[in-house]
Chain A
Amino acid sequence: MVRGCARRRQCDILLRVPTRDLLVVGAGVVGAACAYYAAKAGLTVTVVDRGAVAGGTTGAGEGNLLVSDKEPGAELDLALLSARLWRDLAAEHGDEVEYEAKGGLVVAATAPGMAGLERLAAHQRAAGVRAEVVAATDLRDLEPHLAPGLAGGMFYPQDAQVQPMLAAAHLLRAARDRHGARLWTGVTVTGVTRAGDRVTGVRTDRGDIAAGAVVNAAGTWGGEIAALAGVRVPVLPRRGFILVTEPLPPMIRHKVYAAEYVGDVASDSAGLETSPVVEGTKAGTVLIGASRERVGFDRTLSTVVLRRLAAQAIALFPVLADVAAIRTYCGFRPYCPDHLPVIGPDPRAPGLLHACGHEGAGIGLAAATGHLLAQVLTGADPALDLSPFRPDRFAEVPS
């Protein structure tokens, strides 16, 4: 099944690869979950990535598994399914992936802000989210270092966190060691192979790999993989910076963010938006986000963004003023114009499925994405209606 390979010796590894049921492009957390659930369901799986495991947006994430920041709808349903699946995964791999059921705390500074939080929570509860009102006087029981004078908050016990790089790496390892999946890092997909309309595998810089189905889990670069198959999937980069503090004694217990965060997540603006998101990690560092701006793949450090992130974090937690930031990094969320991921078979290119465009929620939504695709691939009824995520929806609405 290896054809057209000029550098014979380099192709040797792939010569030994028999035809697979599934070829996953991308070894980020979404590709890892797709491989894990498909291999567990009995499919033979190969994963390829042009770089290392978790080398793209997964490696720049905070590892949030959130239901709190989602308004009722298809994405929240996906998040709730994913939250359940992550709990199951944590039962087996919890320590390896540093799963922490820490809960999320959304705070409001003013009474109207609190009223908005309560309205959102009411809708979310109807969809199955657990949300508990926290009175202003009780906020510091949950987070002793919170600034005084806040109007109140909402606690979401289902919000959790994993270490995203470890999550991707250990899902891939389990897929390989327990279920026979194969992983090829440092292999770049350069095209797809076809028989008529049907996608029959991928062309790589190390030779061709034949597969019964190909999953595009290339994240922010998912549009490029789709283009190789001649289909349009509009995934755009939406840059975010994170500030990391020096390691501290446990100080911030939950993921804490301001009510405006939900508005920013759902916004369409290309301009800079920042809202405070602060959380501690098992390693003792505190992660400070979140910023959103559409500036292509520009990695240049933005002092404007960092200053705003620092100021907003200090406004929530004044104690942070005397803490040193030791690191910053940025990543590119895979953003689709309607803020929904692209999940499912592509009718325009039979044999090609997509699992990309999860924006800033890819870690959280990975488990459900992999689970649903495995159901589709094995002919089972998917646990959720996939039509809101269908790959060809963008042709219908001008973006």
Chain B
Amino acid sequence: MTRDLAVIGAGPAGLAAAVTAAATGLRVVLVDAGARPGGQYFRHPPDTLAGPRGAARHGWAEFARLRDELAGHVAAGRITHLAGHAVWHVEAHSEEADARFTLHLGGTGSVAVSSGAVREVRARALVIAAGAHDRPLPFPGWDLPGVLTAGGAQALLKGSLVVAGRRVVVAGTGPFLLPVAAGLASAGARVEGVFEANRPGRFARHGARVLRNAGKLAEGAGYAAVLLRHRVPYRVGHAIVAAHGDDAVESVTVARLDRDWTPVRGGERVIECDAVAVGYGFTPQLEIPVELGCATRVDADGSLVVVVDAAQRTSVPGVYAAGETTGVGGAPLALTEGRLAGQAVAAALGAPPARPSRRLLARRARLRAFAATLHDAYAVRPGWAGWLRPDTLVCRCEEVPYGRLDEAVRELGAIDPRAAKLISRAGMGWCQGRICGYPTACLTARIRKRAPDVADLTGLARRPLAQPVRLGDLAEDPAAGGAEDADGADPGGGGPC
């Protein structure tokens, strides 16, 4: 299959890019691992036309419009929506090739792609809108069952209408904690507290105003009211510094923090709970742009992000990026960037632009400035490293304790995060560093007494296989039209003598 444009990711940015480009007459393929469009932000259960209830419902009207537009373009044959497909590699051909990019697709993980599934897509241009995933920080006990990421708790609620626990503590930093807590409270959980590690400056004069402003600023909805109605305590300058329990989390230690997030002596207390949701921001998914060689930078929130110009173009010709890929900024910014990317692709490929983009450019500038303010207010401060003990796991998949990472860097010559990964095995497990990459890079740099730079973060973000792919799917060459001749089964002819 060959299309004008391939869009990776069907969240707000990808949906907006796809429908904008399709509206100009381009033929678009939209590839997404999810069963339904919407991404993490508009995650919803199957057969929900009305959308989720309560606080999680925010933005639904806009999403519903996009979804209807998508359906219209799909019906008209302008957009091919490949749901349930994971892109494991994007191949860039020479610039002379008309369709410069080949997307290699598989199922998700070890699940086979169905027999009719598309395995390969070619496109003239590429929009990467792969979104972001949770960024937890390690602390003693974070590997206990019941300790979830904030996004994980949210996904359970939005995707399956499952409440993470009966008594939940929400902690971390950033405005995203509020919708998570509000969602849990509305769904019937008792939220024992929301602990914001930062003291977010001018947003944070006093409790109710923090809630009102942060909530309004972040999502434009009434999370604050929900939390107040459910009498959920909200504390700034506090964090969960340890979780306790035998087989599952039973309680957490919450500590008061100084400005650098070092716990203040005597400022600790224990809160009983059966679930914990923690989130310290988000990590954009950069496998594909990194492998394509797109220029990256360290954003104000400490994340590695793709550099784009005013038209959402990356440094690689034909490759555009939108949404969290270019810097975490939330759904409204992602929608705006997606529309701009769709327009830019249309202009580059010779289609008439859908509408003047001056309004979008102004909106993007305003939202980016706002995101920068939030990143500044909700930055991750270095004191969190002091929460760790030598036996605290940094990498949960491979069960690598902080002490082993420290030994690799101090004693075994692993002077950069990539070497620290290879020697300590942090980031070598199932998640391939998607979860532990950021803390591993930060800790390695910290032990080396420097701040993490682009090379440090890239060392744990480079994943040539962008997604897990079933070997059976990999072995089947779509170009050959079936399973490759298994010459491995006939080694006899090539014997050594």
Contacts and interface: CB of A to CB of B under 8 A. Distances in A.
Contacts of A197: none
Interface string B472-487: 1011110000011011
Contact of B488 (A51, A306, A316): A316
Interface string A252-284: 000000111111101000000001100000010
Q: Which of B397, B430, B464, B495 has the most CB of A within 10 A?
A: B495
B465 A151 contact: no
Contact of A245 (B89, B471, B497): B471
B496 A323 contact: no
Interface residues of A, number: 73
Contacts of A111: 492
A201 to B, nearest CB: 21
A314 interface: yes
B496 A263 contact: yes
B309 interface: no
Q: Which of A54, A119, A165, A264 has the most CB of B within 10 A?
A: A165
B470 interface: yes
A368 B112 CA distance: 46
Contact of B465 (A113, A276, A314, A328): A328
Given A120-B497, A311-B486, A312-B487, A322 B475 contact: no
Nearest to A119: B497
Nearest to B107: A324
A219 interface: no
A329 B89 CA distance: 13
A315 B89 contact: no
Contact of B492 (A109, A120, A246, A303): A109
Given A117-B495, A275-B494, A52 B489 contact: no
B493 A113 contact: yes
B110 interface: yes
Contact of B486 (A52, A261, A314, A328): A314
Contacts of A149: 489
A325 B398 contact: no
A323 B397 CA distance: 17
A321 interface: yes
A324 B416 contact: no
A53 B412 contact: yes
B483 A113 contact: no
Interface stretch (B128-136, B255-263, B374-382, B421-429): B421-429
Nearest to A49: B413
Interface string A36-54: 0000000000000101111
Contact of B494 (A259, A288, A311): A259
Given A165-B423, A301-B291, A303-B91, A51 B496 contact: no
Nearest to A59: B422
A169 interface: yes
Interface in A314-353: 314-316, 320-330
Contact of A110 (B423, B432, B492): B492
B225 to A, nearest CB: 44
A54 B496 contact: no
Contacts of A54: 413, 419, 422-423
Q: Which of B397, B414, B429, B496 has the most CB of A within 10 A?
A: B496
Q: Which of B419, B423, B465, B497 has the most CB of A within 10 A?
A: B497
A185 B398 contact: no
Contact of B489 (A147, A310, A320): A147
A310 B104 contact: no
Contacts of B350: none
A109 B419 contact: no
Interface in A180-225: 183, 185-186
A108 interface: yes
B408 interface: yes
A326 B489 contact: no
Given A53-B414, A71-B496, A311-B484, A107 B491 contact: yes
B490 interface: yes
B411 interface: yes
A323 to B, nearest CB: 5
| 9 A-B pairs with the lowest CB-CB distances in the bound complex, closest first | A113-B492, A116-B495, A110-B492, A312-B488, A53-B413, A260-B494, A258-B491, A52-B419, A321-B472
8 contacts: A53-B414, A55-B418, A116-B492, A169-B408, A245-B471, A259-B495, A276-B491, A307-B477
